[in-house]
Structure 1
Amino acid sequence: MKVVIVGAGPAGIVTAKSLLENADANFPFDPVILEQEDDIGGTFRYRSYENANLVSSKQLTSFSDFRLPFSHPDHLTLEEYVEYLRDYCNHFKLQERIRLNSKVINVARHAKGGHVVSYVTRASRESEWSSKVNIIHAPYIALCTGLHVIPSMPAIPGIEHVISASKGSESPVVFHSHEYKKRSQLHGKRVMVLGTGETGMDLAYEAARGGAKEVVLCSRAGFLSFPKALNDFEFLGFSFDSKQPGVPIDSLITNLAETAYVHPWVASSHIRWFVSDFVIKRLLWVLTGTQAGCNQWVGELEPERLGRAYVFLNKSHKAMPYINRPYRNRPKYLDYISRYIDPPEDSPPQTNFTVDLAPFPTHFLPNGQAVFTASKRKDYIRMKDRDVRPELVIFATGYKQEFGFLDKDGGYPTPGEANIRNIVREGDEGVAFIGFVRPGVGAIPPIAEMQSFFWISLLKGRVRQPIPPPHYHLLVKDTARIKYGVDHSTYMSTLAKDIGVAPGLWELWREYGTHVLLCYCFGAAFTTFYRLVGPYKSDSAPAIIKTELWDTITRRGAIGNFIMGVIPMAFYLSLNAIAFGLGIIWTVAGGRVE
């Protein structure tokens, strides 16, 4: 059974590996990966820039049965992660399955079923594409091209005046963030960065550190800032600084009663998210003096969008000291109780340099001056009378999803139409979208691994039916631009239950003992947990859990595990027990729990 996988990024290679390992006499999967670039790695290889690091931890981002050694830092550089992907391909002998410099130009329905995949090749990245069209007939297609491929650059009236004002420049003065590669592009310039996602925040920091004359960072509607690791704070005289191993933020959410063993009524109400948001906001106020984010004094979201249930956490935190300077306002005496320690500035090029936060510009005047969207926001009030004339404008405005190679007459779905767990469209299970959801806190590669397991189970008829309704999507308005956000742990747990790999507590204790059981209860939704039982069981899982994943729990310390583990578990267990009891009464009365 030929399976054509489009894209050799993390999603593509883990899908190929999963298919190969789960091929059998009835489903002899024969995957081939078509990648238009000359190397694997996708976004991590071809849209990277100097000093870029993963904001998701190696513990969460690594695939379930191929881990990185303890000697590696928690957060890898992009070069290190691409090397990890290369080692993964070598270890599982995937190279022979990957056809580099192979560009898919058309996917069409075959008259007798399946698909006809047409692609062209080239000798190298510098070569022209061959005119010869190659054909593969395949019953299954896995689209693994990723969320970050086609740049999105919203139109801003007058942007051409910035170009006119910068005549004589040897390099582009208006470009998308994927074209940014090194600090020298920013040195000595008045820089405007459009977008406060993680890339935008990275670029603002790089401009500040790279000797830009001025940096203006523009935000549409605010952001929620958190560090990628909790280790730079003081509380009651105890210091937790960056010299100590921190706790990756994506490994803090516990499994028991918040992800595993959740009553359907509790899941559908999202009360777990609302309660954790309420608690986290109060803890942030005690620790940093603000509830808008972790030591975030400007750029706050609207109250109805502030929290885990609504947005993607921005874990690129290095620019926050530069952004906070004009706004931070906390009584000194509170800093003696607790405070967040800004990341150290090693020899900054300019003392007290500030990154100016501003709303998005509505337009640019003929002289190149930016005019900002009027509002009551603190940043607008501060910036409204400033004469901002950037010499360099970078669109850190994300990407859009387009699949021009899918035959328009073939009735192919889009990722938004994949109504079965955001992977396939009902009735068209032979076409899968792997890696097309984004977690609020978490990472796409481990999600892609679980999605590949789900797709294989679906093709083999092993997914439990009927499929329960989804309760994992982030809560957004119908008019929202991005609707593919999910809660990482809830989504992973949902897929695990669907395919029969979510372990039971008694089952875990009986087969693996107390150590693995405790790690599962206190740990985050690591993919390795879902390889302890069921059809994707791995012999390497117990050892990984007892060592590497156990380390993420012990790092929290006794106090941290009590606050972030025992208390939430006790509360949510009680809440689920109440729902369970009410569900029994409701069932006896003739109702139905769904």
Structure 2
Amino acid sequence: MKVVIVGSGPSGLVTCKSLLDAASPDFPFDPIILEQESDIGGTFRYRSYENAYLVSSKQLTCFSDFRLPFEHPDHLTLEEYVDYLRAYAKNFNLTKRINLQTKVVDISRDPSGGHVVSYVRRQSESSKWETVPQTIHAVYIALCTGLHVTPSVPTIDGIEHVIKPRENDERLQCSAFHSVEYKSRSQLAGRRVMILGSGETGLDLSYEAAKAGAKEVVLCSRSGFLSFPKALNDFSMLGIKFESKRPVPIDTLITNLAETAYVHPWIAKSHIRWFISDFVIKRVLWLLTGTQAGCNQWVGELESARLGRAYVFLNKSHKAMPYINRPYRARPAWMDYISCYVEPPEDSPPVTNFTVDLAPFPSHFLPDGRAVFPMSKRKDAIRMAKRDVKPDTIIYATGYTQEFNFLDKDSGYKTPGDADIRNVAASGDESVGFIGFVRPGVGAIPPIAEMQSFFWISLIKGQVRRPLPPPHYHLLVKDSARIKYGVDHSTYMSTLARDIGAAPGLLELWRDHGTHVLLCYCFGAAFTSFYRLVGPFRSEVAPQVIKTEIWDTITRRGIVGNVIMGIVPMSFYATLNLMAWALEKLLQLVGGVVYS
């Protein structure tokens, strides 16, 4: 059964490996990867820049059965992660199945069944593509081209006034480019930089511009953002500083028991877990930092109706926040004495008294190149209304869009937005899988892609439970929202695991793996390794990973941390779920009706 995988990023590699592991006499999967670039790695290889780090931890991001050395730092550079992917491909003998410099130009239905994939090759990056395509027949197609491929560039009236040549002096030439073209700080040194977009890339480039010695940095945000560091740093209370030699990655904090495992359908449907945790986190943030907008975030806050884990992607590129906060942070010294969050030290040398100006998205540019910002009650809008901003470098950190021009229009193919079966496949066309096309609010795409590959393979084999329970994992967005592929990481992972019979029961865990693994499962986050303890993708490596690396992550929180972030929420949510279960049974007893 030939399976063509389009793309050799993390999603493509893990799908190939999962297919090989799942091959059987009834399903003799024979996967190959077609990759148009000259190397593997996808976005992490071709849309990277110097000083770029993953904001998701190695504990979460690494695949379940191929881990990094224990002593390796929690967060990798993009170069290190690409090296990890190369090692992964080599370790599992995937390299021989990867066809580089091979671009898919058409996928169509084969009248006799399956799909016909047409592709062209080239010898090197500088050579031309072949003019005559070659073809291959595939029983299954896995689209793993990723969310971050085609730059999205919005139209802004008058931007031609900014980028026009000035006085024929090359030193004064202005430029506008998408963040995909940014590679090093030298592009920003001595410039007046405007960054459009306040996602993680936008925040990252704001910091890079400050460190590069830019004359001015203006970061433009459409509707705000929710800022958190990728790892919790130190804090002080009553003048006593609480320091951690190994800060805890923020994406490893959410516990399993009663939040993702053993959750009553009513509780899941209501999303009450998300709302309660948002309520608590806001109060804790106010106590520690003086603001509820984010972690030590004094400007750029989201509207109250969208402020929380239920609605947005957490922005974990936090290094620029001290520069952004400077004009706005106002907290009495006595409150800082009672409690204070300590920002992690920045890279040397520090930039003193420099401000990254937050601003609304410009409505247009005037003929003299000045940006015009819409007025509102936002703090940054009021402040920037008094400023003349004439950038000479504009960076579109406005994200990406997905295009599937290679799918034959007459063949009726669906796209990821149509994947109504757990965002992995479309009903009636399960032979095409979409792997890696959701993004978690807090978490990482690679481990989700691994679970999606397990689900798709189970779907092909007819091993997914039916009917599928309703999905309660999507982030809550309006119908008019531009991005609708957001999911809650832990809820989505555990949902897929239950669908394929890979979510372990507590008694089963204790019987098969002992107390140590059971404790890790209850206190740990939704690591993929937990869903390889039982079920169709059971792995001999998983228990050891859990007892060592994941156990270290849990114990690193300390006793107080595990009480506050583990025992308290687990006890509360367990009580909530038990009450829902008891009420359901009572209603069934009285009315004889099954409620879902």
TM-score under structure 1 length normalisation? 0.98
Provide the alpha-carbon RMSD of the alignment. Answer: 1.1
Question: Greater shift after overlay, 520-529 or 583-592?
Answer: 583-592
Q: Who is 2:14 aligned against?
A: 14
Matches within 5 A, 1:57-72: 57-72=57-72
Matches within 5 A, 1:429-448: 429-448=430-449
Q: Match of 1:508, SS?
A: helix
Give 1:151's aligned amino acid.
P
Distance, in Å, in 2 between the alignment partners of 1:87 and 1:313 is: 30
Give 2:190's aligned amino acid.
G
Q: CA deviation at 1:152?
A: 0.1
- Confirm whether residue 54 of structure 1 aligns to residue 49 of structure 2: no
Q: In the superposition, relative to structure 1, how do residues 117 and 172 fare at CA in structure 2: closer, same or farther (>3 Å)?
A: farther
Give 1:88's aligned amino acid.
Y
Give 1:222's aligned amino acid.
G
Give 1:400's aligned amino acid.
T
Q: Match of 2:525, SS?
A: coil
Q: Who is 2:273 aligned against?
A: 272
Give 1:505's aligned amino acid.
L
Deviations 1:472-527 (A, max 9, x none): 00000000000000000000000000000000000000111110000000000000
Q: Who is 1:218 aligned against?
A: 220
Distance, in Å, in 1 between the alignment partners of 2:350 and 2:128 is: 44
Q: Who is 1:333 aligned against?
A: 334
* Contact in 1 for aligned 2:363/2:372 (Cα 8 Å): yes
Distance, in Å, in 2 between the alignment partners of 1:105 and 1:307 is: 41
* Contact in 2 for aligned 1:231/1:244 (Cα 8 Å): no
* Contact in 1 for aligned 2:264/2:577 (Cα 8 Å): yes
Q: CA deviation at 1:348?
A: 4.5
Q: Who is 1:571 aligned against?
A: 572
Question: Greater shift after overlay, 405-414 or 264-273?
Answer: 405-414
Among all aligned residue pairs of Structure 1 and Structure 2, give the percentage whose two residues are the same amino acid: 73
Matches within 5 A, 1:315-464: 315-345=316-346, 347-348=348-349, 350-464=351-465
Distance, in Å, in 2 between the alignment partners of 1:354 and 1:323 is: 6
Matches within 5 A, 1:393-542: 393-542=394-543
Deviations 1:382-433 (A, max 9, x none): 0012110000000000000110110111111111100000010010000111
Matches within 5 A, 1:228-247: 228-241=230-243, 244-247=245-248
* Contact in 2 for aligned 1:2/1:137 (Cα 8 Å): yes
Q: Who is 1:115 aligned against?
A: 115
Distance, in Å, in 2 between the alignment partners of 1:28 and 1:214 is: 59
Q: Who is 2:262 aligned against?
A: 261
Distance, in Å, in 2 between the alignment partners of 1:15 and 1:333 is: 55
Q: Match of 1:108, SS?
A: strand
Distance, in Å, in 1 between the alignment partners of 2:351 and 2:284 is: 33
- Confirm whether residue 31 of structure 1 aligns to residue 25 of structure 2: no
Q: In the superposition, relative to structure 1, how do residues 547 and 418 fare at CA in structure 2: closer, same or farther (>3 Å)?
A: same
* Contact in 2 for aligned 1:417/1:425 (Cα 8 Å): yes
Deviations 1:9-29 (A, max 9, x none): 000000000000000000000
Q: CA deviation at 1:587?
A: 2.3
Alignment gaps of 5+ in structure 2:
none
Q: In the superposition, relative to structure 1, how do residues 169 and 466 fare at CA in structure 2: closer, same or farther (>3 Å)?
A: farther
TM-score under structure 2 length normalisation? 0.98
Distance, in Å, in 1 between the alignment partners of 2:54 and 2:157 is: 34
Deviations 1:316-354 (A, max 9, x none): 000000000000011110111211122324555753100
* Contact in 1 for aligned 2:451/2:493 (Cα 8 Å): yes
Q: Who is 2:147 aligned against?
A: 147
Q: Match of 1:419, SS?
A: coil
Q: In the superposition, relative to structure 1, how do residues 349 and 294 fare at CA in structure 2: closer, same or farther (>3 Å)?
A: closer
* Contact in 2 for aligned 1:165/1:391 (Cα 8 Å): no
Q: CA deviation at 1:77?
A: 0.2
Give 1:31's aligned amino acid.
P
Give 1:460's aligned amino acid.
K
* Contact in 1 for aligned 2:164/2:174 (Cα 8 Å): no
Q: Who is 2:286 aligned against?
A: 285
Q: Who is 1:191 aligned against?
A: 193
Distance, in Å, in 1 between the alignment partners of 2:344 and 2:130 is: 50
Distance, in Å, in 1 between the alignment partners of 2:472 and 2:62 is: 25
Q: Match of 1:387, SS?
A: coil
* Contact in 2 for aligned 1:231/1:240 (Cα 8 Å): no
Q: Who is 1:73 aligned against?
A: 73
Q: Who is 1:205 aligned against?
A: 207
Q: CA deviation at 1:249?
A: 0.2
Q: CA deviation at 1:31?
A: 0.3
Deviations 1:95-129 (A, max 9, x none): 01100000000001111111110000000111111
Q: Match of 1:336, SS?
A: helix
Q: CA deviation at 1:165?
A: 5.3
Q: Match of 2:331, SS?
A: coil
* Contact in 1 for aligned 2:319/2:346 (Cα 8 Å): no
Q: CA deviation at 1:172?
A: 6.6
Give 1:529's aligned amino acid.
F
Q: CA deviation at 1:134?
A: 1.1
Question: Greater shift after overlay, 429-438 or 344-353?
Answer: 344-353
Distance, in Å, in 2 between the alignment partners of 1:473 and 1:189 is: 41
Q: Match of 2:236, SS?
A: strand
Q: CA deviation at 1:85?
A: 0.3
Distance, in Å, in 1 between the alignment partners of 2:459 and 2:148 is: 27
* Contact in 2 for aligned 1:264/1:593 (Cα 8 Å): no
Q: Match of 1:286, SS?
A: helix
Distance, in Å, in 2 between the alignment partners of 1:266 and 1:244 is: 37
Distance, in Å, in 1 between the alignment partners of 2:467 and 2:586 is: 24
- Confirm whether residue 44 of structure 1 aligns to residue 36 of structure 2: no
